[in-house]
Amino acid sequence: MENDQAPAKRSAAILKILPLLAFFVPLAILYSLYPASFEQTWVGRTYELFFIWLCFLELIMNWEELRAKISTLRSLRTIVFAISLLIPTIYVVAANFWRVNTALVDYALSHGIEEAWAKQIPLSTEYLVFMGLWLLIVFLEYGTKGIKNYSISAFFLGIIGTLYTVNNLSPFFTPFQLIVPFTTTLAANILNFMGYQTSASAYPGKDAVPVLRASNSQGWAAFGIAWPCAGIESLLIYTVVILLFLSKSLIPWWQKLIYFAVGAVVTYFINMLRIVTIFVIAINSGWRPGYMPPEVQRFHDYYGMLYSVTWIVCYPLIIIGSRALWRWIKEKRGKPKQQPQASQEPEPPKSVV
């Protein structure tokens, strides 16, 4: 009986992995075309690798719950599902070899978007298209329950694509800029505490975009701080991930509020450390007007954002681990102490006088 069930189990396992495999070929094509983009978090494709990682996590967590609605090879649903697995690759080929991306850039330029931002529109569109295709594939295989099981990875792609789109269409989006002065002040205070001299001024021609200048005996550096650098990106990604995580947990609502607030504060503070680190690297690397040291560019585009993303990814694991530890401590405290057993040896006979 076990030998008869083995092929069916293998087929079911392969079927569960197929949606994830559908994105391996398109990502491989993109890596061969734009390898540097996979080393950039902001306006890059590093987050697409995090998307794959999140999919693996959700696949492992929901392995037993996933039940494919595909029963026979010749059903209409199976045929549509098989076609959908090819669409991510077809999209990447069409976008990069059949001038679809070029058409998007030309359309943006014709509608008054500056060239620097227009060239980034294909990337933001790529994130949103990948999200839509991922939801389509999961829905065809599992139905609406599959979308729920893979909601974190899908929303992660969606929030990144939306952030990039907002940045391309309105780089100095005023509502997001409201937090920037406060962020600049905090970063300046941390730098002052570290022994740097700081000052802030307005960026010429750009409203509500402060420029922070820091200096010490080794040199100085100055950078404009827009909303993507001020922590908005990190806080939005954090909000999506932690809310989806908490929504699936059995934690009491008031504890969820505490977990959310603590995580948000830490996320924001970590972004402060990112800004401060950029200034420290710039000053120690010989930054000067018109020259951006490669160390600064590398940290800004990749390693800096990993500060926040690493924390965001690890925080749910910290919550799970801390609650497990607390339960273990409570069990230890509440466990009654064992009373010493009475001796089973017979009492010696009393002497008779």
Residue 64 sits in the same domain as residue 127: yes
List average pLDDT for each run of 10 residues in the chain, which is 353 residues long: 62 89 96 92 88 88 84 82 96 96 95 91 97 96 90 89 88 77 91 93 66 92 86 84 81 92 94 93 90 88 83 88 87 66 52 40
- In a shared domain, residues 162 and 18: yes
Q: Which residues contact 124 (CB under 8 A, 6 or more apart)?
A: 161, 164, 165, 167, 168
Give the per-residue pLDDT at 106: 95
Q: CA angle, 70 as apex, 5 and 29 as ends, to 5°? A: 105
pLDDT at 353: 36
Q: Is residue 5 part of a domain?
A: no
Domain check: are 21 and 49 in the same one? yes
Q: What is the pLDDT of residue 337?
A: 55
Largest Cα–Cα separation, the chain: 122
- In total, how many domains does the chain have? 2
158 occurs within a structural domain: yes
Residue 4 belongs to a domain: no
Q: Any residues with CB less than 8 A from the CB of 213 and at least 6 apart, and which? A: 198, 199, 200, 201, 220, 221, 222
| Structure confidence by residue, pLDDT tens digits, 75-133 | 888 999 999 999 999 999 999 999 999 999 999 999 889 998 999 999 999 999 999 99
pLDDT recorded at residue 139? 95
Q: Return the DSSP state at 288.
A: B
Question: What domain range includes position 309?
Answer: 172-323
- Cα 72 from chain centroid? 36
Q: What is the pLDDT of residues 219-239, one digit of tens each?
A: 999 998 888 788 888 888 888
Predicted TM-score (pTM) of this structure: 0.79
Note the pLDDT of residue 277: 94
Among residues 131, 148, 171, the one where a domain terminates is: 171
Say whether both 215 and 299 belong to one domain.
yes
Residues sharing a CB contact under 8 Å with residue 320, sequence separation 6 or more, in sequence order:
none
Buried b / exposed e along 18-47 (16+ C-beta atoms within 10 A): ebbebbeebbebbeeeeeebbebbbbbbbb
Six-digit token string for 48: 């697409």
- The conformation of residue 70, written as its DSSP 8-state character, comes to -
Predicted local confidence at residue 344, as pLDDT: 52
Task: Reduce the DSSP state of residue 212 to 3 states and report it.
Answer: strand
